[in-house]
Structure 1
Amino acid sequence: MVGVNQNDEEYPMKAADFNMQQALQFQPQHGLLKLGDSRVIVMGIEAIGSLYQELFNVGDIIAAQVVMRRFGEANGRERARMVKDVFKPENQMEWLAFGPTIHAWEGVGLPKLAVFEHDAAAKKFRLLVEFKDSYLAEQYTRVMGPATEPVCWQLAGYIAGYCSEVFGMDLHCRETKCVAKGDPHCEFDTRPRSEWL
């Protein structure tokens, strides 16, 4: 799924050139839908609202946070590996740019990079993302009502997993603002795990 020039030579794809309509491989005769080599599904977001409700029914808020965060982190790592293998970004910043680009195409929400600081030698990292229209905040409030703390745990896990894979660091992401608790947008702050925990 890399780009091809007039001489049929492959070159790395840029995130700005990504088009999910062209990237998806529809195989209804096999019951498959793929993005690169990764099988994907189309699912209504109401199912996520039901998942939130069931996680609370069988556990508590801590259990729900842990499950959703781990699920998100595994998904973020897998997606970052797929992007590297299939689209072959030419550098880390281009690789990073695919994360929010794909999220916007998927309908997850609209992420905007607010702060980025990275010094590999000093092991310093900070990524601050403002996120509009989070489907998780929407579904949480639909099913559970207003929240008193951030609830987009799956997105926080995804961002941590994706960035950890791209930059080869053990990163942790916290949601510091959330629409579900009345903030104007969701906000995610990613730093080395040692700084947060």
Structure 2
Amino acid sequence: MSLREVSRRAPRILQRGDSLLLDEGAPPTLNDLADALQFALGDGRIWFNDNRMVLMQADVLGALMAQMIQDKGTQHTRIQSMRIGWQEGVKLAHIVMNRFPQQDLTAALAAGPRLHTIEGYAKVTTRRFEFDAKRKTYHGEFHWTDSVAGTEHIRRFGVCDCAACWMQVGVPSGYTKTLLGFPVIFREIECVAQGAPRCLVVGKDVGG
């Protein structure tokens, strides 16, 4: 069932949501999402639902980002990384909608941080998110502990004066926008690459 159809049948459910009111057992739970990840060991394939995945060492990803910075500069690397993250977020949102069709949009949004954790980007702790679909408003705050991008950046370049988890920030932007149907931009307010103990990420609707 599409989100449009869900909205038509149960508009009150989709109008507003608050992570503080979420039933922790509402699907997709962390276990539900983990069950969707399958290893076809004899075939050389990893699947998340019907989407093929790959494993990559964090050190290799860090080396790739460092090479991009050296070749094209920080600004170019930041923009391209966020675009890649955005596309991943969009695809993850479609996977959740297809595998876990439901009327609880709050639970679908809560799956985003869980997926971020499963993929190994960071341990994500949701401080709170809330939205009003009718008014097209969203606000969310999240902690990322042991972020791959931030850790790799500081290992290669030392403490810097800017946040460095560019691709990771793009993921929730694409994911949340796809589910809600209006733009939501995530920004990294604090980053381990700046010397912070963990990353603080805040998402807001464009009007906010």
Task: Report TM bin, short chain.
Answer: 0.7 to 0.9
Counterpart pick for 1:162 among 168, 175, 183:
175
> Separation in 2 of the partners of 1:49 and 1:99?
23
> 2:133 matched to which residue of 1?
120
> Separation in 1 of the partners of 2:185 and 2:172?
8
* Contact 2:163/2:189 (8 A) holds in 1: yes
> 1:108 matched to which residue of 2?
121
> Separation in 1 of the partners of 2:194 and 2:135?
36
> Separation in 2 of the partners of 1:78 and 1:46?
25
| 2:119 corresponds to 1:95 | no
> 2:55 matched to which residue of 1?
42
Name the amino acid aligned to 1:129. Answer: F
Q: Specify every segment of 5 or more residues in structure 2 that has no aligned partner in the other structure, as ranges.
A: 1-25
TM-score, normalisation: structure 1: 0.86
Structure 1 residues 144 and 123, CA, compared in 2 at 3 Å: closer, same or farther? same
Report how far residue 136 of structure 1 moved.
0.8
Name the amino acid aligned to 2:77. Answer: A
| 2:14 corresponds to 1:14 | no
* Contact 2:137/2:207 (8 A) holds in 1: no
Name the amino acid aligned to 1:73. Answer: W
> Separation in 2 of the partners of 1:143 and 1:189?
26
Q: 3-state DSSP class of the match of 1:14?
A: coil
* Contact 1:159/1:173 (8 A) holds in 2: yes
| 2:75 corresponds to 1:62 | yes
TM-score, normalisation: structure 2: 0.81
Report how far residue 52 of structure 1 moved.
1.6
* Contact 1:14/1:89 (8 A) holds in 2: no
| 2:37 corresponds to 1:24 | yes
> Separation in 2 of the partners of 1:44 and 1:24?
18
* Contact 1:15/1:95 (8 A) holds in 2: no
Please list the CA deviations of residues 157-185 of structure 1 after superposition, one character each: whole Å capped at 9, or x if unmatched.
00101111111111111111001101121
C-alpha RMSD over aligned residues? 1.7
**Paired residue total:** 183
> 1:183 matched to which residue of 2?
196
Structure 1 residues 36 and 137, CA, compared in 2 at 3 Å: closer, same or farther? same
Q: Percent identity?
A: 25
> 2:147 matched to which residue of 1?
134
> Separation in 2 of the partners of 1:65 and 1:96?
25
> Separation in 2 of the partners of 1:84 and 1:109?
23
* Contact 2:163/2:188 (8 A) holds in 1: yes
* Contact 1:24/1:34 (8 A) holds in 2: yes
